[in-house]
Amino acid sequence: MNFELKSLTPAQAAQLPADALLVALPDSLPKAMAASPDALSRLAAQALADIDPGAGQALSCYRVNGIKAPRVVLVRAGDGSAAAVRKAVAAGTAALRQNGIERLALVLSLLPDDAAAVRMAVQACADASYAFTTTKPSAKPRALKRVTVGVTDTAAVRAGFEVGKALVTGVEFAKEWANRPGNHATPSHLADAAKALGRQPGIKVDVLGPKQVAALGMGAFMAVAQGSAEPLRFIVMHYNGGAKGDAPVVLVGKGITFDSGGISIKPAPEMDEMKFDMGGAASVLGTFAALAELKPAINVVGLIPSCENMPDGLAVKPGDVVRSMSGQTIEILNTDAEGRLILCDALTYAARFKPRAVVDIATLTGACVIALGAVRTGLFSPSDELAAALQKAGDTAGDLAWRMPLDDDYAEGLKSSFADMGNVAGRAAGAVTAAKFLQKFASELNWAHLDIAGTAWKSGAAKGSTGRPVPLLLQFILDQAQAGPTRKAARKPRA
């Protein structure tokens, strides 16, 4: 989908040769607009009283005299804040979706110029018109091809517009791969997707197979993969936007392309949704797709340990003990707590880059869904500074997170009689104890963990990936780039 930013008065918007106008209205307009010589201003002023209060409330019109576009949707945007504009544009775009609109004029000229609001508007327009067609030939593809975003002053909002466009690319890349069924998104398929991104300027990708992973001593990762006929892949991505010696941000995405639970097999209902268990990996891929467009001055490393978790005769068993890359041994008490096993080896690998920050992203625990639902991602970090930076990035991006505790007492349940630790600690505070497990492999890192089990996808009639937390991750990286480089990284090793 092609977005164009343009300076548009209401009179100019009325004369655009578009298939539809989507006009965002503030809560109040000057009374004089009702007598304005241009048709769109008059319509907006007269219709405002007929639209129910509340951001997202809309009124549709057809063949309005003086307006070239055959369809006009007027939608309340409340106080004009980014959140209100996002809600308004989402509702308006959804109202037009069934009409086969190809050219849309998104008129924000009646609102104050706000870069954050424009960014949100672009994202909302794309999200509301998105369609997954890869494995569904009968699905209607997205009709919308061109969106002209009309504002008063393009210079004032250009930065937000560019970030919004990049986020559309990144979020939709993440959605595409998370939505694909497990047989269309194997670890090898994910590696191919990463390699495709590696053809972009500034991005380099290495893919490690089973022999290389074994040579690294990633025993926990290999244990999860051993029950599947699909070979594991360890994907190492580099975005080189900063100086050669600058310490990178490292993103680690959980890439379980299908999670049956292994020997501790999951119940059958909704097991199909376990194709979304690589939402963390998808978010890393999506973030790199967005970085390729924006090209910020920072170095970023993406690590994706990817495999299936299956229950065949070679699968790891409850009670088995494995040795992680760190040398710490793990008693696998529940094979359905597999995400932390592949992540722990990736976190150990991440240390070689001497990173400024490491953020792992994982659909890790049902407990986080119970705690926070689908609104906020669970955020864990022992660093107040890093936690605050991620929380702020989420607030800015409208991709919300909430910091959870990491008290040492929560790790008591991970003690094992037969290994350095168990991989589970019972049901109580399950999201926290999972994070405490990961912390054992990140003690020397400036580390944070994002549990996206509640936010990475939707169930029910709207089943599908949300593309979260690509907006949070990209904003965090942009903030880090603006802050400038940190300490020098060690010479980058061969992957």
Cβ-contact 458, 464 below 8 angstroms: yes
Name the nearest CA neighbour of 455 among 389, 394, 393: 394
pLDDT, residue 494, reads 43
Q: Give the mean pLDDT per block of 10 residues along the chain (495 residues).
A: 96 96 93 86 92 94 96 96 97 90 96 96 97 94 96 97 98 98 98 98 97 98 98 98 96 98 96 98 98 98 98 97 98 98 98 98 98 98 98 98 98 98 96 98 97 97 97 98 75 44
pLDDT, residue 464, reads 97
Strand 377-380 and strand 457-458: the pairing is unpaired
d(CA 182, CA 189): 10
pLDDT, residue 99, reads 84
Strand 103-107 and strand 146-151: the pairing is parallel
Using the structure block, give the residue that is written with the tokens 């393009």. Answer: 154
Amino acid identity of residue 187, one-letter, is P
d(CA 393, CA 329): 35
Q: How many residues does the chain have?
A: 495
d(CA 70, CA 450): 45
Topology, domain 174-483: Aminopeptidase (3.40.630)
Q: Which ranges of 66-114 would DSSP assign to H, the alpha helix? A: 82-96
d(CA 325, CA 214): 9
d(CA 330, CA 310): 19
CB atoms within 10 A of CB 174: 30
pLDDT, residue 487, reads 60
d(CA 186, CA 304): 13
Cβ-contact 352, 490 below 8 angstroms: yes
Q: Indicate where the chain has its CATH 3.40.220.10 domain(s).
A: 2-152
Q: Which ranges of 398-491 would DSSP assign to H, the alpha helix? A: 430-439, 470-483
Sequence-ordered strand ranges (E) for 144-232: 146-151, 203-208
pLDDT, residue 36, reads 84
d(CA 113, CA 280): 34
Q: Indicate where the chain has its CATH 3.40.630.10 domain(s).
A: 174-483
Beta-bridge partner residues of 105:
21, 148
* 115-129 and 154-179 helices, crossing angle to 10°: 30
pLDDT, residue 488, reads 53
DSSP, collapsed to helix, strand or coil, labels residue 24 as strand
Count the alpha carbons within 13 Å of 231 in the hemisphere toward its beta carbon.
13
The C-alpha angle with vertex 431 and arms to 428 and 434, in degrees rounded to 5, equals 100
Q: What is the DSSP letter of 141?
A: P
d(CA 103, CA 31): 31
* 430-439 and 339-350 helices, crossing angle to 10°: 30
Q: Radius of gyration over alpha carbons of the chain, in Å?
A: 24
Cβ-contact 332, 223 below 8 angstroms: yes
* 384-397 and 470-483 helices, crossing angle to 10°: 120
Residue numbers annotated as active site: 266, 340
d(CA 318, CA 255): 22
Topology, domain 2-152: Leucine Aminopeptidase, subunit E; domain 1 (3.40.220)
* 279-294 and 187-197 helices, crossing angle to 10°: 10
Q: What is the DSSP string of 411-428?
A: GGGG--SSSSEES---ST
Q: What burial letters (b/e) apply to 367-400, b meaning 16+ CB within 10 Å?
A: bbbebbeeebbbbbbbeeebbebbbebbebbbbb
